Each structure stands twice: as C-alpha cells, then as structure tokens.
Structure 1
Amino acid sequence: MKIDRLLSEIIFLLNHQLVSASALARRFGVSLRTIQRDMEAIELAGIPVFAEQGPRGGYGILESYKMERQLMSVDDFYYIVTALKGVAGSLADEHLDNTLQKVQTLLPCKSQDIFSDRNEKLSIDFSMLGGDQRHREAFKTVREAVENERLLRFRYTNNKLECVTRIVEPLTIAFRWRSWYLYAYCRSKEDYRLFRISRIKEPEILASAIHRRDLSFERFLEENYRKVSTESLEMELKFSPVMRTMVEEYYDPKECCILEDGSLVVKLRMPEDGWLYGYILSFGEYVEVMRPDRLRRIIAETAKKIEKIY
C-alpha cells in the first residue's frame, strides 16, 4: 500500500543524511517517477524534504526536523529488536518481520557497531515454541479465525488423550506456560475453554461470523485459578536427593521440606487428569507419591503396565 511505502520512506530518510532517488527506487521497488511523487506527497504532509542536485545528490530531511534519538538508547533498541526477533522466530509472521525491519532502521548509524557487539553476547531463540511447520500452519489458520471473528472447527487431543472434534468461537491467542493457547467458547461444551495450539489438527475456518462474548481472557484465568485452587487434588511427592536442583527450580521453597537424607517432600495442588499421571511418571524412580493413597495406587498400577511392555 502507498501509505506503508511512504511511512517506510520517511523512516529511512530520517536515519540517513542523503539518499539518491535511484537508491530509494531500488529499495522500495518503484520507479524514479514514483519516488519523485512520493517526495512531493511527504513534503505536502508537512515534513521538510530537501533535494540536492548532482552526482552525489539525493533526498533528505532537514536536521532540525529529525527525531531526537536520545529518547532511546542503544540498549533500548537492542532489547526491542531481540524480543521481536524471538517472537518472529516462533510465529514466522511476515508482519512481525516488517515491524522488525522498521525498528532496526531507527537505530542510529553510529551505534551499529555497538549493537552488533551486543548481539554476540546475548542470543534468544524462541523458534522451538512455534513447533514444526504443521504447527505454524495451524497457528496461522487459528489467528485468521480470531482476527476475522469466524467459527473454527478442528480435531483436538485433550488431556485424557481423546481425539475429539470441536467447533468453537475463537476469542484470544495467548502465550502461557511455555506454549501458545487458543481461548475460545466451545459450542460442544457450551463453556469457555483453553486449547493448546500444538494439539490442534486440521483447523478449518467456517463461514459463520461470531460476536465476541463478555468473558475476557483475563477474567477467565482469574475464575479458572480459583476453581483449580478449590477443586484440584492435594498431594505430597517425595523426590530423590539427586533431583534437588530441579525441584528448587520449579517449586516454591515454601512448598518444599528437606529431610535428613537429602530427599525433598513437596506439597502441592494440581488438577487430576492424564497429564498429572504422566507428569509424575516422567520422574521415573526419582519420585514417590506419599499421598493421597488413591493417586499412589494409580501410579503403581500404571508402572506395572509399563513393566509388562518391557
């Protein structure tokens, strides 16, 4: 769009002393005549563009009008760009890529060396959070349904490992608990639900439009947290001493008790479902369910079934 090109040209000129018309034409993929018309439009908008003739000539913006870059330090730009790169790597979003390029053009030229040096000292890669190409394609479809407010149908594997088909009113895409989730109103359950996007298969946008419901994502989290706090299972897990570092990393010290032999007893509450059983079993011989007895029996029976396989 023309307005996007004009904005990009303004930002580019603000960060360069003088740019030839041919260089601008190559950068923005337009003709020299289009660049001339763009410069006239920018000047009519009140931005003081000047032109210098000759082999070293070109277009520029008066220094008195340029942004006061001291408002943002190199560190400010560095953290903004690093965060954008991380998210863009996760989502593979061309709009984020364009935003990233625009922000990078705001970096003062004299600070480029400092910026490059910082890049060698801190690297953040969120690409794994976006999953493989299948997950990224599903993400694009889900986001399109959210933005266009259309019904969405997909296959989904829930925490009980059941594969079900759901038709939902997609409301919000959120990054929580190290994963991307879709917050939606499920028409099958007639209630609000969270769907982990990496588990969504074959998403299909339907023709029917939706109207956003009243319960916001933030309110949903608050109500769900209260529900989990009152309805979740209270348990006590005993971890082997070799797991101390990991236990201290994931659990609040107030929840942990260190025994004389170095074992750690953790008291916590969690919703009881297939995910919980798998979570406990993932620690293998390094954890023991102390209570409740029913959960202890479930884990023991599951372990016997695993033993039969091997």
Structure 2
Amino acid sequence: MKTERLLAIIMILLDKKQISASQLAETLEVSVRTIYRDITSLSEAGIPVTTTPGVNGGIQIMDNYKIDKQFFTSADITSLLIALESLSTNVSPIQISQTFEKIKTLVPAGFMEEIEFKTNQIAIDLTPWTSNHTLQPFLEVIKSAMDQQRLLRFHYEDNKGRQTTRIIEPYRLVLKEISWYLQAYCTEKLDFRTFKISRMNDLELLPTTFIPREFQPQPLGKEPFYGKDFTTITLKVTHKIKEQLIDKFGQLNFFSTDSDLFMVKFPFMEDEFGYNLLLGFGNQCECLDPPHVRAELKNRIGELLELYQ
C-alpha cells in the first residue's frame, strides 16, 4: 500500500503546485504524521519534494520535474494497468485508452513484454451478469458534474418507495459489490447523503456551479455481519449453495453426508437480510436447527405460497 500511496502523492504534487499536509492526509485517508514520513521517503529516493512552513506554506515538488522511468518497477506498472483494466467497463473507453498510453511511457526499456505477460495473468471483470443500460450514461453525467462542480437534479425513490426530487452537490462515486452509490450534499436536507444510483430517474446536469464544501468520505453503513448478534443455525445444502456461501462468507466448516449434501454451522442474522438470503437458495438449502428459525422460514414460505394460490 505504501508504494501506491507514494505514487499518488507524486501525481498530486505534479498536478498541484502546492498542497498542505492535512489536505494530502485527508485525500489519501491517512494521518498527517504518515504523510510526513512519506515525504521523507520520497526525498530519500531522490524526488525533489520540499516543505514550506507558515500559513501560505505547504508541500511542493520542484518545477519542471519529470518522473524517472526507473522509479517504477515492472510490478508497479502491472498493478496500475490491472487496476485500469478493471475500470474499463465503467469509464469512457477513450479515457482509459489515453491513460493506458500515458502509463506505458513510464515503462523502462525492455520491460514491456514482461509487463504485458504479467498483466494478462490477472483479469478483474466488474461487469454484472445482467446489464443496466442506464448506468453508464448516469456515471458519465455524474463524473461531468464532479469535474465541473455543477449541481445535479433527479427524482429519487428510497427503499420504502417514497419519491422525492433532489438537487445535490456531487462529491464521490462508490462501487459496493455490484451497486454504484453517489455521496453528495443535498440542498434540501442541508446535509451529506448517500444515494443509490439505480434508484435515480431523470438525472439532469444543471448549469449552476457550487463551491466545494469540506467533505469526509462517508461509510455506506455497517457491513452485514458487523455489530450484530448471531444465531448459530445448522444448514443442509447442495454443492452449489456450499460454493455460494464460501464466496460470500469465506471458508466455513462443511461436513459431507451420505446423500451428496453438506452440513454446516452458519452464523445467521435474524433479520430480513438473513431470511431472504436463505429463502433465495430455494430447495437447495434446508435449515435444520434451531426450531424457531425453521418455523419462521416455514411461515414465510407459507405466505409466499398463499400469494400464488
């Protein structure tokens, strides 16, 4: 992580003539002390970084400085290219192509073949199995609004079906699993809010600009298994469900049975997320214990059956 952070500091300093340590710390989400340690590391590596004390002071890099190609190892550039490739489905192909070409100019002589070989060893495909034709245009509009510091207006439907019209100052796009979110300042609520992009309609880029506020990256809420009380339940699942549980929750202790099924003790959350998860497995998953969880599943299955009678 330190190498990536040092590279980010160089790129920021090349883009901005001067920036304070606190601004760098906020941008990179580390402490000011860490920033000063990084600046020392860059200086020791021969990067001409200087600091100026005082109200109008800050950190800067020597004018006309250019990065030495030897500063990057083949591993560094491989990591950058793999990261760019993973974004290619959500960022303009032209923009990605231009960035690729710029990074390739940093490749040390004789290393291109090795880097291309290593880059092809890892593929990160963030494309969802089902397509959302409105997502890409929405992302482009939002990125334009952030670049130009312009307001956005859209109709929004929350998770309870309530519809509102919002005007916001956009600050940050976040990809969480397969869903995109926009963190922004809402001019109606007079506070920062997080909006799920799939719940937006009639997105409009307004001509009005805004002066950026001090923004702190907002968490998207607690992770499903954080800060919750678990109930240990016993499941009997097929191989397919075993694989899905490992994908979502890591290695669990599965025990095979005589009927090509698997038994597992599973940390279960007794809420809508938990019950919907189990019901989504259909007839390939059976809850054996405890009795009250099994009874609640039977009750929910009964309500579903009534709906289709």
The SS at the match of 1:180 is strand
- State the 1:236 CA deviation: 5.9
Does 2:244 match 1:264? no
Q: Which runs of 5+ in 1 are unaligned?
A: 1-64
Kindly indicate whether the alpha-carbon contact (under 8 Å) linking 1:180 and 1:197 is maintained by their aligned counterparts in 2.
Answer: yes
CA–CA separation in structure 2 for the residues paired with 1:297 and 1:195 = 35
The SS at the match of 1:240 is strand
- State the 1:215 CA deviation: 5.8
- State the 1:157 CA deviation: 4.6
Give, as a single letter, the amino acid of the residue that structure 2 aligns with 1:126: L
The SS at the match of 1:267 is strand
- State the 1:182 CA deviation: 0.5
The SS at the match of 2:173 is strand
Cα deviation code 1:64-83 (max 9, x no counterpart): x9965433222322221121
Does 2:295 match 1:299? no
Residue in 1 aligned with 2:246?
248
The SS at the match of 1:175 is strand
The SS at the match of 2:114 is helix
Give, as a single letter, the amino acid of the residue that structure 1 aligns with 2:163: V
Q: Which has the higher helix share?
A: 1
Cα deviation code 1:56-109 (max 9, x no counterpart): xxxxxxxxx996543322232222112112213322254343222110122234
Give TM-score, length-normalised by structure 2. 0.58
Kindly indicate whether the alpha-carbon contact (under 8 Å) linking 1:153 and 1:165 is maintained by their aligned counterparts in 2.
Answer: no
- State the 1:278 CA deviation: 4.7
Q: Over aligned residue pairs, what C-alpha RMSD do you find? A: 4.1
| CA gap 1:84/1:114 in 2 versus in 1, 3 angstroms | same
- State the 1:238 CA deviation: 4.7
| CA gap 1:244/1:153 in 2 versus in 1, 3 angstroms | same
The SS at the match of 1:167 is strand
Give, as a single letter, the amino acid of the residue that structure 2 aligns with 1:240: K
| CA gap 1:68/1:204 in 2 versus in 1, 3 angstroms | closer
The SS at the match of 1:102 is helix
Residue in 2 aligned with 1:126?
126
| CA gap 1:171/1:120 in 2 versus in 1, 3 angstroms | closer
Cα deviation code 1:113-161 (max 9, x no counterpart): 323333443333334499544211011112222333333222345434x
Residue in 1 aligned with 2:29?
none
Kindly indicate whether the alpha-carbon contact (under 8 Å) linking 1:86 and 1:127 is maintained by their aligned counterparts in 2.
Answer: no
Q: Indicate the percent of aligned positions where both proteins have the same amino acid.
A: 20
CA–CA separation in structure 2 for the residues paired with 1:206 and 1:120 = 41
Give, as a single letter, the amino acid of the residue that structure 2 aligns with 1:95: Q
| CA gap 1:248/1:113 in 2 versus in 1, 3 angstroms | closer
Kindly indicate whether the alpha-carbon contact (under 8 Å) linking 2:72 and 2:107 is maintained by their aligned counterparts in 1.
Answer: no
The SS at the match of 2:305 is helix
| CA gap 1:302/1:259 in 2 versus in 1, 3 angstroms | farther
Residue in 1 aligned with 2:165?
166
- State the 1:258 CA deviation: 5.8
Q: Which runs of 5+ in 2 are unaligned?
A: 1-64
Kindly indicate whether the alpha-carbon contact (under 8 Å) linking 2:86 and 2:123 is maintained by their aligned counterparts in 1.
Answer: no
- State the 1:179 CA deviation: 2.9
* Matched positions, count: 235
Cα deviation code 1:217-264 (max 9, x no counterpart): 2xx318x4399956x7866655323233322332266xx676896432
Give TM-score, length-normalised by structure 1. 0.58
Match runs of 1:122-201 below 5 Å: 122-128=122-128, 131-160=131-160, 162=161, 164-169=163-168, 170-186=170-186, 192-201=192-201
Match runs of 1:1-310 below 5 Å: 68-92=68-92, 94-128=94-128, 131-160=131-160, 162=161, 164-169=163-168, 170-186=170-186, 192-212=192-212, 216-217=216-217, 220-221=218-219, 224-225=221-222, 238-242=234-238, 243-251=241-249, 262-269=262-269, 278-287=276-285, 296=297, 299-305=300-306, 307-308=308-309
Give, as a single letter, the amino acid of the residue that structure 1 aligns with 2:246: E
CA–CA separation in structure 2 for the residues paired with 1:147 and 1:249 = 36
Give, as a single letter, the amino acid of the residue that structure 1 aligns with 2:222: Y
The SS at the match of 2:124 is coil
Give, as a single letter, the amino acid of the residue that structure 2 aligns with 1:166: T
CA–CA separation in structure 1 for the residues paired with 2:134 and 2:301 = 36
The SS at the match of 2:194 is strand
Kindly indicate whether the alpha-carbon contact (under 8 Å) linking 2:156 and 2:165 is maintained by their aligned counterparts in 1.
Answer: yes
